[in-house]
Chains A and B, each alone.
Chain A
């Protein structure tokens, strides 16, 4: 086992533990110690004084598929970005050869981007 690696990981793990424990403890403490004057109205869903089916009732309705499309586009471009990082680190060593292989990669994706643009995937109706 690589000692240097553990020295890198351990502080992160400890910081993570601290960062989880403190807010959780604060939230639990505040819930235990704070005043409790629960009423039916106070605990009901906040509707900002607006009545009617548009605001009240169960919030979980079917949602615009638009959001799915945005998430899918994001995922594709996210994966693309992931490949850019090792390329960027090696960019100076690989010179033109690496450059053109990345241009080919980005070119195909630029076509995908153009397709999305023309099909109106980025339009928000």
Chain B
């Protein structure tokens, strides 16, 4: 049977045979992780290009337009063309910038989100590195985005950029709390922080956590959308007010890094949502006789959640700054704390007697 785990075993078997032929078997512990990181890098690059195309197509359909249709079949290669254009563009460096922070900020923005991808399990055993503190690691490492955004806004020395950076950072940290709080009930139920462990628990329990934890799921998706600075929470980059937000002064590859980072952030939070609430690589109930490999299920669910986030953009009007802060601090945080306590009480009522 074809599963993601089998493919990984096959590939690693082939690789180890190749190492033995080349006489570098002792270095396998170093080369294997490099190869898996490179594969993840390639996957992310292709996937994000696809997502940009998908976003433009979805937007187009919702507005009765056609969307990109010139480059390649269905316009699929449009993003490739855009990427090439961005890399060969002139590198405009505003004179008033702070040189070093201006250069480092896009790298940090990219690295922070990319490093979140390495612990996402695509299938049983298909993960660059499964950590036993997985979910907390993702939350911690993606937190670097705030610093990248603030630094970018500050080092550009542009009022639009600085104000955009400030607003972005304030928004991200406001919604970070509710995002993390919405994860806690899952950990209470499973007792593990490992993403693979959480999926395995859902397999054994026979249900996905979206059923008992629908409130947490809604909080998570809302906060994740806000954290990625996407519409309807896109005040920091509201074109009509602040031009491009914190990356106003960035162009070419540097801009591409921020752009890439934003899309990877969407992928990471959608992947976490799929893993925590939608059963990760598990097949739909009653459909496991089809023997569709787990990573296909995972990608299908991932695309569904990403489509949901894209659909938000054309469904809800943009919030005002005060509404945004109100919603984060006065609504989401209390609800998520009540949700945690309610989960605890319900758990005690259901299983309390048999505990210890």
Per-residue CB contact flags for chain B residues 154-197 toward chain A (1 = under 8 Å, else 0) read 10111111100010011001101100110011011001110000
Tell me if B62 counts as interface (CB < 8 A to partner A): no
Q: Which residues of B contact A63 (CB under 8 A)?
A: 166
In the bound complex, what is the Cα–Cα distance between A37 and B91 (angstroms)?
Answer: 10
Select one of B158, B176, B326 contacting A122, CB under 8 A. Answer: B326
Tell me if B103 counts as interface (CB < 8 A to partner A): yes
In the bound complex, what is the Cα–Cα distance between A88 and B170 (angstroms)?
Answer: 27
The answer to whether residues A95 and B352 also contact, given A27-B106, A45-B96, A74-B177 and a CB cut-off of 8 A, is yes
B88 CB to nearest chain A CB (Å): 6
Asked if B181 contacts A81 (CB within 8 A), the reply is yes
B166 CB to nearest chain A CB (Å): 6
Per-residue CB contact flags for chain A residues 53-71 toward chain B (1 = under 8 Å, else 0) read 0110011100100010011
Asked if A73 contacts B352 (CB within 8 A), the reply is no
Select one of A70, A91, A110 contacting B173, CB under 8 A. Answer: A70
Asked if A34 contacts B107 (CB within 8 A), the reply is no
Asked if B344 contacts A30 (CB within 8 A), the reply is no
Q: Which residues of B contact A85 (CB under 8 A)?
A: 136, 184, 187, 193
Q: Which residues of A contact B321 (CB under 8 A)?
A: 124
Asked if A10 contacts B30 (CB within 8 A), the reply is yes
Tell me if B58 counts as interface (CB < 8 A to partner A): no
In the bound complex, what is the Cα–Cα distance between A11 and B341 (angstroms)?
Answer: 37
User: B40, B159, B333: which has the most chain A beta carbons within 10 Å?
Assistant: B159
Chain B interface bracket (under 10, 10 to 19, 20 to 34, 35 or more): 35 or more
In the bound complex, what is the Cα–Cα distance between A111 and B188 (angstroms)?
Answer: 24
Asked if B253 contacts A110 (CB within 8 A), the reply is no
Closest to B352 in A: A95
Select one of A10, A54, A81 contacting B29, CB under 8 A. Answer: A10
Closest to B337 in A: A106
Q: Which residues of A contact B160 (CB under 8 A)?
A: 46, 48, 55
Question: For chain B residues 74-104, which have a beta carbon within 8 Å of chain A?
Answer: 87-96, 103
The answer to whether residues A11 and B334 also contact, given A35-B90, A36-B90, A46-B94 and a CB cut-off of 8 A, is no
In the bound complex, what is the Cα–Cα distance between A91 and B173 (angstroms)?
Answer: 27
Asked if B325 contacts A124 (CB within 8 A), the reply is yes
Chain A interface bracket (under 10, 10 to 19, 20 to 34, 35 or more): 35 or more
Tell me if B36 counts as interface (CB < 8 A to partner A): yes
Interface of B is mostly: helix
Tell me if B248 counts as interface (CB < 8 A to partner A): yes
Q: Which residues of A contact B334 (CB under 8 A)?
A: 113
Asked if A24 contacts B107 (CB within 8 A), the reply is yes
The answer to whether residues A122 and B329 also contact, given A14-B33, A43-B95 and a CB cut-off of 8 A, is yes
Per-residue CB contact flags for chain A residues 25-58 toward chain B (1 = under 8 Å, else 0) read 0110011011111000011111110000011001
Question: For chain B residues 333-351, which have a beta carbon within 8 Å of chain A?
Answer: 333-334, 337, 340-341, 344, 347-348, 351
Asked if A18 contacts B110 (CB within 8 A), the reply is no
The answer to whether residues A67 and B257 also contact, given A12-B115, A15-B37, A34-B88 and a CB cut-off of 8 A, is no
In the bound complex, what is the Cα–Cα distance between A59 and B160 (angstroms)?
Answer: 8
Asked if A67 contacts B157 (CB within 8 A), the reply is no
Closest 7 CB pairs of A and B: A11-B33, A15-B37, A124-B322, A74-B173, A88-B187, A11-B129, A122-B329
Q: Which residues of A line the B interface, CB within 8 A?
A: 7-8, 10-12, 14-16, 18-20, 22-24, 26-27, 30-31, 33-37, 42-48, 54-55, 58-60, 63, 67, 70-71, 73-74, 77-78, 81, 84-85, 88-93, 95-96, 99, 103, 106, 110, 113, 116-117, 122-124
Q: Which residues of B line the A interface, CB within 8 A?
A: 29-30, 33-34, 36-38, 40-41, 87-96, 103, 106-107, 110-111, 114-115, 118, 128-129, 131, 136, 154, 156-162, 166, 169-170, 173-174, 176-177, 180-181, 184-185, 187-188, 191-193, 243, 248-249, 252-254, 257, 321-322, 324-326, 329-330, 333-334, 337, 340-341, 344, 347-348, 351-352, 355-356
